[in-house]
Amino acid sequence: MKLLQDKVIKEGIVLGNQVLKVDSFLNHQMDPVLMKEVGAEFARRFADAGVTKVLTIESSGIAPAIMTALELSVPMIFARKHKSLTLKDDIFVEKVYSFTKQETNEITVSKKFLSAEDRVLIVDDFLANGEAAFGLARVAEMAGASVAGIGIVIEKSFQPGARLLAEAGYRVDSLVRIASLDEGKVTFVEQA
């Protein structure tokens, strides 16, 4: 997605050779016009997938996920990272190791909002090792739902997540794919 690549080049900040900071349009301040385009693009790519729910994880996945859900006219659910006061029996719980925070979070989704009839599109801001996406897929599958696909805004293709998810049989569709963050520079897969 050219618009998104341009934004990454213009505003992305490379930290070390592993992490891209995009807090001017996705991770802190959010660009609603760009998020609308992102939602439209995911909706176009997954138009034939029979999606009934979009599932993400708080907080940075929420903006692209809600825009995608709006375009597909389906509800969006975000997995919570913090426990609410809900009874344990009413929620699906999964452990997810956070790449950026280097800690394990228990993510939860209310059983009210996912069922065996659902086809779930997972949307997230970044894909690194695939922990978040696998955790969300496990939550969908706990409900008996099927995973229609995984839509990623920024895939870091030099990390194993995309390969591992594809090997596990999931359809992964990423709007931009980064081949390397070496020497403080973003190189996209298409350029590499």
Q: Which residues bind ligand 5GP (CB under 6 A)?
A: 19-22, 27, 57, 60, 99-100, 124-133, 156, 161
Residue 87 CB, nearest approach to ligand 5GP (Å) = 27
Residue 174 CB, nearest approach to ligand 5GP (Å) = 11
Q: Which is nearer to ligand 5GP, 76 or 133 (CB)?
A: 133
On whether the CB atoms of residues 112 and 86 are closer than 8 A, the answer is no
Residue 74 CB, nearest approach to ligand 5GP (Å) = 21
Look at strands 76-79 and 53-57 and give their pairing. parallel
Q: Identify the CA nearest to 89 among candidates 107, 106, 55, 112.
A: 112
Q: Which is nearer to ligand 5GP, 22 or 139 (CB)?
A: 22
Q: Identify the CA nearest to 162 among candidates 114, 124, 127.
A: 127
Q: Which is nearer to ligand 5GP, 118 or 124 (CB)?
A: 124
Q: Which is nearer to ligand 5GP, 23 or 117 (CB)?
A: 23
Residue 120 CB, nearest approach to ligand 5GP (Å) = 16
Q: Where are the alpha helices (DSSP H) in 73-181?
A: 131-142, 161-167
Tokens of 56: 């993400």
* Packed helices 2-11 and 32-45: angle between N→C axes, nearest 10 degrees: 140
